[in-house]
Structure 1
Amino acid sequence: MSTQSSIAMSACFETENPVCGVILSCQGSQSRPVAPAEDMAQDGVTNTGQMIVVSTVEGWLSFKSLLQHCSGDKNLQFSGLMGPEAEAEEREQEFELNVLQQEERREREMEELTAKHAEERKKEASERMQYGKKKENSKEAMISHRAMLQPKNPTDDENTKTTSVILLGLSGSGKSSALNLILEIAGNQYFVNESTLGNSLPTLSCERKEVFKSGRKLILVDTPELWDEDGVENLDLVKDCLSLSLPGPHVFLVVLQVGRFTHGECEMLVQLQKMFGRELTEYAIVLFVSFDDSQQRPQRIDDYVEEAHVTLQDLIRKCGSRFYELNVTKSQSALSFPQVKDLLLGINKLVASHGGQAYSGRRFSMQELRERRKHIEEMKEGALENDSLLRDS
């Protein structure tokens, strides 16, 4: 079989309606006469005996397929004249087909391009998020480093011998129990009073306690929860704890209960930074309070942190990875002294890193805080006088 066949065509038109040419002969790989089938007459293909007349475009397409089939060559090439209108209509059909194919190709290309752009935008968003997180971490590290290198202004002798600590946390976290334990051990009362262990009554107002340790005054300020369940801060309590901590605060103890880390604890650092500013973390130490009264040896706090929720680990990281533990139960009281000792060493180390300079929040003026402290002391003296009068009566 030859690789290419051809159909010789000549022009022969009907006189009344010259719509297409007439096939006279077929020369292909199989030389035999070709005539249309009877059922093609409805498409406008007729045999007059001397010639085959194709009177419609549909008929021409049908007859062309017949010729290809009879010749056995699907690549059969046609030459000659078809007639002006039929040729134009076929060219129009081919043009429409090409246009349709081009539109389909463009549509596929647009879909692929849209999918590619969406993937690129998703990748860019992820990269921006990672970059923002790295930038925030770098900024926090830079602020902390800059604070450590910044020369500190000398203070008077009384203030340099004073360390002021504010205990912050949710209700029931163990702030009061931890404070009482620190006071007793720091005051060299190594035999811990049983009444100070375990859960204390809820703290309703800010309270200031003092103890002298190694020639230094240690001020501990106990606080209730400083915001309500809707996250609205109690401005008076915030002002009270800052005024009672003067000439500090030098350290914030963020108190968490071992084994409890709810949604409230997750949001706690955000709430505290709203009240005291982002620089709070530079002066913060995380204190884990344990109420475990079992006789078994408690889990090491390092192991607890390593297995903790990622949000808790992030909170500790933002606080400079400074964390300690206090066990406030009677059965584990033997652990209390070394734990308090380690905590006080950590507090002194953090104070020294700031050159003994206290946290300087700009939310309240120093004059405003002094007046607030004076007001609290007057209120306390008045309450004591009333209690004395009631006892005498």
Structure 2
Amino acid sequence: MFGMEALQYLIVISLEEGKVVDVLDDALLELINVCDGRYCRISGSPATADELGTLLEMVDYMLAESGACGYTENMLSEAKRRSTEDTALKMLKQKVQEAEGKEQAFNQLMEEREKKRATEVEELKAKHAEERRKEAAEKRQHDTKRESLEEAVRSHLAMLQLQTNTNADDVRRTSVILLGLSGSGKSSAGNLILERAGNQYSINEPCRSAPQPTLACERKEVLAEGGRLTLVDTPELWDEDGTENLELVKDCLALALPGPHVFLLVLQVGRFTQGESEMLGHLQKIFGKEFAEHTIILFTRCDSSQHRAQRINDYVANAHVSLQDLVRKCGSRYYVLNVTKSQSALSYPQVKDLLAGVNKLVASHGGHCYSTKRFSVEELKERKKVMEERN
């Protein structure tokens, strides 16, 4: 009725009363994916100011991405024109079917005439007996060849099926290490990324209570977009004097095998301390000078007091020169993630954009993981084995 263009301006709104399910069903998930993740939940009536603010921000985001003019009269006219063409095509197909019916009747008439001729030439059977025997021999030869070819096709299909089953476990793997200072929101962001990447929408949001500090490296995995995504959460890898914790460094690299492919440097919007301005230097000493080439900056928004949050591009453009320099050294690759309960509806498209950026960065390096010269792969594999046995 409105054409495929209307999907660019469509937002799915869920008006929910009573019990809310934790996981989206397949039909709703498919609709959300068609709408590029534009999905907003309103828990009751009337809607709260935060929920309406979230919806309005999603509308602004949609118009900024698809064009401020919105859905136009020209788009509607074009959809009606295509609908008219489809109707004409259906009529044409109906006429084709009628023609095919007439052809079938004609063929039946020809078969009847052929039978009549066969009756008239019955007396010629003796003469053609030898020819018929030859034709029968040729037919047997043809059938034998056809059966041989069919057997070859079945054998080839079986081999392809075996190869498919063999490669079923060889899925694309992407390994990401979360880095940042305590209180930056690493753990909350990691949990939210895993939920949204796994197509889960839980009412138990990660920031509903103060998260516990991360004391050890932790690995979590989820299947996302036909591949396996591995996130490794880490505590601070150095102390107040800037001395690295070598054991934690080995742990995070071992848990990221086969990888890491991407480092996710987590910073909280509105907070940029002296320690965070020195992070890149510490991390380059730990992982190597090429660290920044494999790094994406993730800004977490944990302050729910703002009704209309500042756009992340404006935030970076007006940030301290030290933060701007950090962003520039990391290739100006940065994303934002709302981890507050009131604005969690925005996290679905945000995680989708972040994962697209991760895949793009991995592809730019040819799909190869980041290798450090400090530790061999064999040493890290042995470390991982020891950690798994310990747990």
TM-score range, shorter chain: 0.5 to 0.7
TM-score by length of 1: 0.56
Structure 1 segments unaligned to the other structure (5+ residues): 1-155, 381-393
Amino acid at match of 1:340: V
- Is residue 322 of structure 1 aligned with residue 333 of structure 2? yes
What are the equivalent positions in structure 2 for 1:215-234 lying under 5 Å apart?
215-234=226-245
What are the equivalent positions in structure 2 for 1:126-165 lying under 5 Å apart?
161-165=172-176
User: What do the CA deviations read for 1:201-251 (whole angstroms, capped 9, x no partner)?
Assistant: 000000000000121000000000000011000000000000000001000
Distance 1:197 1:176, change over 3 A: farther
Distance 1:317 1:197, change over 3 A: farther
Distance 1:227 1:157, change over 3 A: farther
1:342 matched residue in structure 2: 353
2:295 matched residue in structure 1: 284
Amino acid at match of 2:369: A
Q: 1:211 aligns with which of 215, 222, 226?
A: 222
Distance 1:295 1:158, change over 3 A: same
- Deviation larger for 158-167 or 262-271: 158-167
| Greater RCO (Cα-Cα under 8 Å, separation 6 or more) | 2
Q: Secondary structure at the match of 2:378?
A: helix
- Is residue 236 of structure 1 aligned with residue 247 of structure 2? yes
Structure 2 segments unaligned to the other structure (5+ residues): 1-166
TM-score by length of 2: 0.56
CA distance in 1, matches of 2:170, 2:330: 25
Cα contact 1:177–1:198 (8 A) shared by 2: no
Distance 1:174 1:371, change over 3 A: same
Amino acid at match of 2:299: F
Distance 1:158 1:319, change over 3 A: farther
Amino acid at match of 1:239: K
Q: Aligned-pair distance for 1:267?
A: 0.4
Amino acid at match of 1:377: E
Cα contact 1:248–1:359 (8 A) shared by 2: yes
- Is residue 374 of structure 1 aligned with residue 385 of structure 2? yes
User: What do the CA deviations read for 1:38-64 (whole angstroms, capped 9, x no partner)?
Assistant: xxxxxxxxxxxxxxxxxxxxxxxxxxx
Cα contact 1:161–1:217 (8 A) shared by 2: yes
Amino acid at match of 1:269: L
How many residue pairs match? The answer is 225
Indicate the RMSD between aligned Cα atoms, in angstroms: 1.5
CA distance in 1, matches of 2:314, 2:203: 27
Percent sequence identity is: 69
Greater per-residue helix proportion: 2
1:262 matched residue in structure 2: 273
Amino acid at match of 1:319: C
Cα contact 2:184–2:268 (8 A) shared by 1: yes
Q: Aligned-pair distance for 1:190?
A: 2.5
CA distance in 1, matches of 2:309, 2:191: 21
User: What do the CA deviations read for 1:332-390 (whole angstroms, capped 9, x no partner)?
Assistant: 1111111111101100110111111000111100110001001111111xxxxxxxxxx
1:302 matched residue in structure 2: 313
Amino acid at match of 2:267: L
CA distance in 1, matches of 2:192, 2:209: 10
